[in-house]
Structure 1
Amino acid sequence: MFDATAVPADRRGVGRYVDSLLPELDRAGTPLHIACRVEDVEHYAALCPGAQVLAAPRAIARRPVRMVWEQTGFPALIARQDVDVVHSPHYTRPVLSRKPSVVTLHDATFFSHPEVHERSKRLLFGAWSKASLRLADACIVPSAATRDELVKYAGAKPDRVDVVHLGVDTSVFHEPDADSVRRVRDRLGIGDRRYIAFLGTIEPRKNLPQLVRAMALLAERRADVPVLVLAGGSGWDTTVDDAIAAAPGVDVRKPGFLPLDELAAYLGDAELVAYPSLGEGFGLPVIEAMACGSAVLTTPFLSLPEVGGDVAAYSQPDAASIAAAVEELLDDPVRRADMARRGVQRARQFSWEAAAAAHQRIYRQVARTRT
């Protein structure tokens, strides 16, 4: 039984993980029962034609109701199905279910960087991470860095935490063609100007005010500063707009969510993709940008070097360091081209097919352990 009820309507975060993993599990012949929201039934039926898709009550669209249903109604639904393992892909799990359980913990920054999370989420997901590490038969994390942080901060036992890297959907993320690039440039309203791209939720741990200030420092000493485009949904960071207002010499665009089919052109046509995060459980935009043929600048924290390897460029998270790294890359097109070429090759090492195979191994192991 796979619990897809936590997937948000905009498909970000856990939605990207679930929507990419489930079709590969289905193609690999995994017998799937998928519990999801009523409005997602047709979506998962089309995505996973071999699966049995089950609708949860409509009221779980509200998070508090969903959390209650997970502990009350979901165990009853599980008990009515012929399933061997329950996979909860977003920190929490149905405590009353007697079936073997697997839980995915996406990052450990609730412990290592509590200041970058809203207090309610920090308390909720921090507590559930510890509970799932204790109660689940297996926990899956997307990077060795996340496993090590959970061992350090949450008392996880390393042998009960399985590292499974996320993948890249190359049908979506690939080197773009000229027509798709022109459509995205028209959407952004930047004509033929150069731009630096960011993709992700605009939240404190993405460190975007420092990126904006870095661009302002560049604007003080050169006239050819590219447009800065911050694409993604708004989180709870209230300081980004203040940083933009204090940088009048920088052209910053915030287009919000871009359609999935426009992301390859957006990332691939950028001079570089900047991802100055203070810490990630994986850092999917880094490897997706590489798959699109873009040079990537990120930070050397937590999982990011694990994902970017020796292909990405790295900077400390302060504005002066970011500015210096951006300027060096802008002035070295040969290096950017080499990073782009090697990035495409590196992205091929991260596939959802391999991730699904690893999940299958874990499911089988957990089922055998409990029989």
Structure 2
Amino acid sequence: MTGGNGPRVLVDATAVPADRGGVGRYVDGLLPALGRANADLAVVCQRADAERYGRLVPAATVISAPAAVAHRPARLAWEQTGLPLVAQHVNAQVVHSPHYTQPLRVSCPVVVTVHDATFFTDPRHYDKGKGAFFRSATRTAMRRASRVIVPSKATRDELIRLLDADPTKLDVAYHGVDPRVFHVPDDAECARVRARLGIGQASYVAFLGAQEPRKNVPNLIRGWARACAHREAPPALVIAGGSGHDEEIDTAIEEIPPHLRLIRPGYLRYADLPGYLGGAIVVAYPSHGEGFGLPVLEAMACGACVLTTPRLSLPEVGGEAVAYTGEDADQIGTDLASLLDDHERRAQLGAAGRERSLEFSWDASAEAHLASFTRAVAASA
């Protein structure tokens, strides 16, 4: 299809993982919104996603990349050789690379999304190979991309501070949340999740995210244990999401008193997330720093009482509609205990979070992306 709103855009969705983690949620939320904005859109993706994107964005041209791109080394090689050919084939006027890396030789401008700057601010939270790779990709984007999209003002400011990035080529486009997907759950949705978790009617504190050092899960476990050690009916702690490389999690688990219960269900089904987040007594996300903090926004949209940290972008997302804590276990324990003891405050934060989440829409994000694409094309003319 041609003749939509704005320039002809090729979105490279081949980096989207099968587990629909952060980059998957971003691309899956953005593409339908671009479609609703009548963007002139082509999407190249992994073969397993072709039907999905054809359904989500029916007006877009959807191209399946070679099967090998499911493996990152092959995808990165194809990005340099195959993606420029796809761009020519679909007559793209701009390529959007939504996850740090980009083709270096392509016949049209490239807009790259850089999700956060924590590879520079907190390198200890990443293994050496991953940290070096994303630092290199970010520096390349700052030099070579026509424009760079970031999901928060905090990320923009960090890139300017740390890399002396050109502020005139950085565009802030907040992530959104789909209220049809992330909503205040009904009793049946909560009961279904409780059955899957095997916790019956017991209350629980929820975490959702990758279990990597930046997410601060070991201190959450220790803080929860301190907040709940002497309670008559202590809430369980549920750590949901993909397994990461944070070896300290197992150490923290070994320290848990035997009468407390921790559950690690791994990935939850997308359809279960409202019941999981909205059914929690508290959603805790004590991250050392985020480029945006999508799990916090999604929990807010589900009416959850959220406890997070005031690091980097998180206050931009949570505002005054979430509770804040420190990053050490003692402070997490103190602030979590305070919330567990205050039903009224939890209810107030849940309602405030739901209201604030309505300010973040994928449609607004799509408009910001389209403006960035248009600027990139205009600068190349």
Structures share fold, TM-score greater than 0.5: yes
Can you give the 5+ residue segments of structure 2 that lack an aligned partner in the other structure?
1-9
1:157-188: per-residue Cα shift (whole Å, max 9, x none)? 11211111100111111100111111111111
Q: Give the aligned residue type for 2:216.
A: N
Q: Which residue of 1 aligns with 2:323?
A: 313
Distance in 2, Cα, partners of 1:368 & 1:160: 13
* TM-fit CA distance, 1:121: 1.3
Q: Which residue of 2 aligns with 1:244?
A: 253
Q: Which residue of 2 aligns with 1:296?
A: 306
Please provide the CA RMSD for this pair. Answer: 1.0
| Residue of structure 1 aligned with 2:139, choices 120, 126, 130 | 130
Q: Aligned residues, how many?
A: 371
* TM-fit CA distance, 1:364: 1.4
Q: Secondary structure in 2 aligned to 1:31?
A: strand
| Residue of structure 1 aligned with 2:179, choices 159, 170, 187 | 170
* TM-fit CA distance, 1:107: 0.5
User: Residues 60-79 of structure 1: matches in 2 within 5 Å?
Assistant: 60-79=69-88
Distance in 2, Cα, partners of 1:334 & 1:177: 20
Can you give the 5+ residue segments of structure 1 that lack an aligned partner in the other structure?
none
Distance in 1, Cα, partners of 2:108 & 2:267: 38
Distance in 2, Cα, partners of 1:175 & 1:273: 14
| Residue of structure 1 aligned with 2:92, choices 69, 78, 83 | 83
* TM-fit CA distance, 1:220: 3.5
| Residue of structure 2 aligned with 1:155, choices 161, 164, 171 | 164
Q: Is the 8 A contact 1:215 1:225 kept in 2?
A: no
Q: Which residue of 2 aligns with 1:258?
A: 268
Distance in 1, Cα, partners of 2:284 & 2:189: 21
Distance in 1, Cα, partners of 2:228 & 2:41: 53
Q: Which residue of 1 aligns with 2:45?
A: 36
Q: Which residue of 2 aligns with 1:233?
A: 242
Change (3 A) 1:26 1:12: same
Q: Is the 8 A contact 2:147 2:169 kept in 1?
A: yes
1:183 partnered with 2:205: no
Residue identity (%): 50
* TM-fit CA distance, 1:81: 2.2
Q: Which residue of 2 aligns with 1:54?
A: 63
Distance in 2, Cα, partners of 1:347 & 1:258: 22
Distance in 1, Cα, partners of 2:177 & 2:102: 27
* TM-fit CA distance, 1:218: 2.3
Which range moves more in the overlay, 246-255 or 20-29?
Answer: 246-255
TM-score scaled to structure 1, two decimals? Answer: 0.98
Distance in 2, Cα, partners of 1:73 & 1:346: 42
* TM-fit CA distance, 1:153: 1.4
